[in-house]
Amino acid sequence: MTGSQAVAPALAVAGIEKRFDGFRALGPVSFTVADAGVHAFIGPNGAGKTTLFNCLTGRLRPTAGAVRLGGRDITAMAPHRRVHHGLARSFQITNLFPNLTVHENARLAAQALSPRAFDLWRDRARLAQVTARADELLERLALTARAQTVAGLLSHGEQRRLEIAMALAGQPQVLLLDEPTSGMGIDDIDTMTRLIEALGRTMAVVLIEHNIRLVMRISRSITVLYRGAILRQGLPAEIAADPQVKAAYLGTAA
């Protein structure tokens, strides 16, 4: 055969299951995520969305099943190593240094995730590289105008954008976002929506989000979790029209 060679999906989840003692919080679930676009996971409270994310990031070890990132089995890989293999999850706001500027925060992330450790004082070329990378990260998350502001003085929405900027420092192929708009006002939600959509043009964004309007607007595909299982998977229009999905949200699905 010439030409086309099968390329592994950005993320492939096969039969993962997570039990807490006897209780099965998740699975078994299987799905794949293509290498670009926003792929949303929705579902009522307790459906297993965060448990799924924790199995993807390595914070939780699944009871069964496998997780592959770009074809590589990462099921048992430590969380920090997954980051170096192209899987990113936004840092918590508590990971920001509130007394440093936005640019300094971005620079620290770029430095920490640059391919090898380096001596800040001797390697001026790499220092310039890290600074340029920080500029680029802030540009992507619409924070350039805030670069010299102390991070602790940013609005809640801006802080969440900075977390994502920092998560992108390692040039991930897959970005996981768990409720990135929670606690935000309408203007910040709108900005975040546009930025997530833009990120989806160059990487796979796996998004957990309760804001259904947002999900419908920017997702390439939607997976509905219900009681730990996949209830439906499809295009936004298919999900919106699905009677079982509506019933799950109203609490009447079997």
Ligand X SMILES: Nc1ncnc2c1ncn2[C@@H]1O[C@H](COP(=O)(O)OP(=O)(O)OP(=O)(O)O)[C@@H](O)[C@H]1O
The residue number whose beta carbon is nearest to Mg ion equals: 50
Residue type, 242: D
Q: Are 39 and 204 in contact (CB under 8 A)?
A: yes
Task: Work out which of 14, 24, 36, 50 binds Mg ion, going by CB under 5 A.
Answer: 50
- Please identify, among the stretches 45-53, 211-219, 229-237, 245-253, the one whose residues bind ligand X according to the rule CB under 6 A: 45-53
Pick the stretch among 43-51, 133-141, 197-205, 242-250 that binds ligand X (CB under 6 A).
43-51
| Residue 129 binds to Mg ion (criterion: CB under 5 A) | no
Give Cα separations from 5 to 12, 32, 69, 81, 235 (angstroms).
Answer: 17, 18, 17, 27, 27
Coil vs helix vs strand at 235: coil
- Is there binding between residue 50 and ligand X (CB under 6 A)? yes
- What is the rounded distance in angstroms from the CA atom of residue 131 to the CA atom of residue 122? 15
| The one among 48, 62, 70, 86 contacting ligand X by CB under 6 A | 48
Rg of the chain on CA atoms, in Å? 19
| Interface segment toward ligand X; rule CB under 6 A; list 49-57, 117-125, 127-135, 230-238 | 49-57
- The 18-37 contact track toward ligand X, x by CB under 6 A, reads --x----x------------
Within residues 130-149, the interface with Mg ion by CB under 5 A covers none
Rounded Cα distance, 160 and 170, in Å: 17
Cα–Cα dist 189/214, whole Å? 8
